[in-house]
A = this chain, B = another copy of it.
Amino acid sequence: MATQFGVRIRELRTKQNMLLRQLASKLDVDTSIISKVERGDRQLKKEQIPLIAEILSADKEELLMLWLADQLYNVIEGEPMADEALKSVTKKLKKEK
């Protein structure tokens, strides 16, 4: 499972001596959800990212990037053609801009 985002959140949270419960409360979700997010069991909703970034005084863009990376990873996880697909999309993206 994808955990880039979760690992970073945990890092930010613990460095500030913040408890799961406190972060959860500010995000207005149950503690268990944050626990799962940090361990990569769950993905946060995209709309929650700006808020969690603010709560943790983190860079919104950085967290969004990590979150996106997790979404991408979930798509290709365990796929034999993962590498080719990534290349294909990267190429397509370059053409667009």
Name A's B-contacting residues (CB within 8 A).
Answer: 4, 61, 64-66, 68-69, 71-73, 75-76, 79-86, 88-90, 92-93
**Which one of B4, B72, B80, B88 contacts A76 once the chains associate, using CB atoms below 8 Å?**
B72
Knowing that A61-B81, A65-B84 are A-B contacts, what are 18 other residue pairs whose CB atoms are under 8 Å apart, sorted by A's residue number? A64-B79, A65-B81, A65-B85, A65-B88, A66-B85, A68-B75, A68-B76, A68-B82, A71-B75, A71-B85, A72-B75, A72-B76, A73-B89, A75-B75, A76-B89, A82-B93, A86-B93, A90-B90
User: A83 and B93: CB pair below 8 A?
Assistant: yes
Instruction: Quote the shortest CB–CB distance from A63 to chain B (angstroms).
Output: 10
Instruction: Quote the shortest CB–CB distance from A71 to chain B (angstroms).
Output: 5
| Top 4 A-B pairs, shortest CB-CB distance | A68-B85, A65-B81, A69-B88, A69-B85
